[in-house]
Amino acid sequence: MANRRSKQLQEKSLRVTTTGDIEVSTYLEIAKEIGGEQPAALEEAVSRADREAIVVIDFGSQYSLLIARRVRECQVYCELVPHDTPWEKIVSLNPRGFILSGGPASVNDPNAPLSPAYIYASHLPVLGICYGMQVLAKQLGGQVAPGAKREYGHTILHLSDLDSPLFASLPPSTPVWMSHGDKIEEMPSGFTALAHTENSPVAVMGNGDGIFGLQFHPEVVHTSGGKTILKNFVSRVCGCKGNWTMGNFINESLSRIKEQVGTGKAICALSGGVDSAVVATIIHRAIGDQLTCIFVNNGLLRREEAERTLNAFRNNLGMHIIFVDASARFLRKLKEVTDPEVKRKAIGEEFIRVFEEEARKVGKVDFLAQGTLYPDVIESVSSVSTASAKIKTHHNVGGLPAQMTLNLLEPLRYLFKDEVRQVGLKLGLPEELVLRQPFPGPGLAIRIIGEVTEEKLEILRNADYIVMNEIKLAKLYRQLWQSFAILTDVRSVGVMGDFRTYGYLVAIRAVTSDDAMTANWSRLPYDLLARISNRIVNEVPEINRVVYDITSKPPSTIEWE
């Protein structure tokens, strides 16, 4: 897991270019470079009011974050913390119960991570999952031993204690997902086996006093009753009422932002993406014109995108927006650039330069708003815990003016993407904006193979518009993670009427995905592909051939550059 996270981080840092949808970490990166510190105690800047919480103790499973998400789906606030988190931090979360995550270690390894003593001393309910169950067994006096073979994949769970509160509404036998090498050889005293599978006589154990262990993973979709089990744990065992709703979140956030900002001034970069849109809207609702948004048109947006974004925020929401049409500047920087990473870097640097110039004009500013989301916080959690709240910007690194000391305002810091979308809808943002597919910060520049020119941008905009339009008409837009056109640098011969043509080759890409780490090419209906192709070659004269990309990720990536 640690490796995967650091790989994600590496991939991310390559993308630190603008405030695109996916890439929410631009300022964080700038802040890090500038001060060598993570702007962090933001952690504490967000008060958690009086809400009940389930705390997931993270032992490094690749599913740990998913556990937190599933618990939140039960309308109970949940945070993931490293296994060595001090009690003071835990108690500030107002915990009602703990979940011990899975993890790659074996509890019998000499350096295996274990639960802090407060877990047991608190007398709060505990649910150990996979490695977490083995931690419980080991620490409470049972025996864990290597299994004869690793158990991986689907199996059937047979319940032996149908009266356990954990099993309410579950059928007596239900499919579950296993992934473990060690198994419980001997349960700690006071525990009984509540369910078994073919290979695990102790697939679920409990002590009748609120401590449970599951050998399987309830958080993954393959465990069909998994959500029921988690819901039973948080509501029936921990007694949570379920007060985590986006309406409550908005109310809490509004008063928190007002309190935090006081009479200060904040700035926020608007990208047209969901995260920055929701951040700007919630802050604007809290502090009105004390917020100034800066929207930089880099000239790499899709057709009508800049106008639509501006209209939505300035005219419909009445925000104070500085709009900068910097298209020509970006194009100049991209002249003769063909390497994708050089393109990204050029766009990122230019964005920071323009943003810096505009921010200076606002005068004294106290807060920089950004759309950091919970998964980003978790990725950088180790550095966050030692960092400080303030960032000092430094003009040499392309940040904000040297004398400017900014606090970060990160109202979405504890939210998952789907929660951000719910908040956006509740705040009245248009569905078209809130539910839109991700669009990369460097925009169309990484969908034009080779040098980016105004002419090519126009060709791609026209083709892309048709793709988007047809996908929406076919009602497939929301099912797809992304769908778009790529302008290749290949030209091929064609025939139009009696004439020979020599035009561009355009590729269509449509993928399904959960998180962009992996993606499958979508089996779009042939008729839809035919319509897209016909329209493109008829309506965009520079293009005479259309191909469909049928590679998944891996081995390909979603974008072509």
Residue 443 lies near ligand XMP (rule: CB under 6 A)? no
Closest CA to 416 of 214, 185, 167, 249: 249
Question: How far, CA to CA in Å, does 558 sit from each of 434, 484, 519, 554?
Answer: 21, 10, 7, 9
Q: Are 82 and 58 in contact (CB under 8 A)?
A: yes
Residue 67 CA, chain-centre distance (Å), reads: 14
**Interacting stretch for ligand XMP, rule CB under 6 A, among 68-76, 97-105, 246-254, 434-442?**
434-442
Instruction: Compute the distance between CA of residue 104 and CA of residue 61 in angstroms, rounded to an integer.
Output: 6
Active-site residue, 240 included: no
* Residue 117 vs 550, nearer CB to ligand XMP: 550
**Interacting stretch for ligand XMP, rule CB under 6 A, among 71-79, 92-100, 329-337, 437-445?**
437-445
- In the block, tokens 């390909």 appear at 556
Q: Are 137 and 206 in contact (CB under 8 A)?
A: no
Active-site residue, 219 included: yes
Residue 129 lies near ligand XMP (rule: CB under 6 A)? no
Report which DSSP code applies to 159.
Answer: E
Strand 266-270 vs strand 367-369: parallel, antiparallel, or unpaired? Answer: parallel
Residue 559 lies near ligand XMP (rule: CB under 6 A)? yes
Q: Are 167 and 180 in contact (CB under 8 A)?
A: no
Residue 15 lies near ligand XMP (rule: CB under 6 A)? yes
Q: Which residues contact 56 (CB under 8 A, 6 or more apart)?
A: 64, 67, 68, 71, 78, 79, 80, 81, 98, 99, 100, 101
Tell me, residue by residue from 509 to 528, as one string, x for binding to ligand XMP by CB under 6 A and - for no binding. -------x------------
Strand 266-270 vs strand 291-297: parallel, antiparallel, or unpaired? Answer: parallel
Q: Are 124 and 98 in contact (CB under 8 A)?
A: yes
Closest CA to 32 of 392, 362, 340: 392
Among 5, 20, 130, 137, binds ligand XMP (CB under 6 A): 20
**Interacting stretch for ligand XMP, rule CB under 6 A, among 12-20, 159-167, 352-360, 361-369?**
12-20
Show contacts with ligand XMP in window 22-61 (CB under 6 A): 22-23
Residue 285 lies near ligand XMP (rule: CB under 6 A)? no
Q: Which residues contact 514 (CB under 8 A, 6 or more apart)?
A: 481
Which one is catalytic: 52, 79, 219, 410?
219
CB of 22 to ligand XMP, least distance (A): 4
Residue 17 lies near ligand XMP (rule: CB under 6 A)? yes
Tell me, residue by residue from 230 to 269, as one string, x for binding to ligand XMP by CB under 6 A and - for no binding. ----------------------------------------
Active-site residue, 451 included: no
Among 440, 487, 536, 543, binds ligand XMP (CB under 6 A): 440
Tell me, residue by residue from 324 to 353, as one string, x for binding to ligand XMP by CB under 6 A and - for no binding. --------------------x---------
Question: How far, CA to CA in Å, does 406 sit from each of 20, 110, 370?
Answer: 21, 45, 12
* Paired strand residues for 151: 180
CB of 557 to ligand XMP, least distance (A): 3
CB of 242 to ligand XMP, least distance (A): 32
Tell me, residue by residue from 475 to 504, as one string, x for binding to ligand XMP by CB under 6 A and - for no binding. -------x----------------------
Indicate the residue whose CB is closest to ligand XMP.
Answer: 20
Strand 204-206 vs strand 192-196: parallel, antiparallel, or unpaired? Answer: antiparallel
Residue 3 lies near ligand XMP (rule: CB under 6 A)? no
CB of 17 to ligand XMP, least distance (A): 5
Q: Which residues bind ligand XMP (CB under 6 A)?
A: 15, 17, 20, 22-23, 344, 438, 440-442, 482, 516, 553, 557-559
Catalytic residue numbers read 130, 217, 219
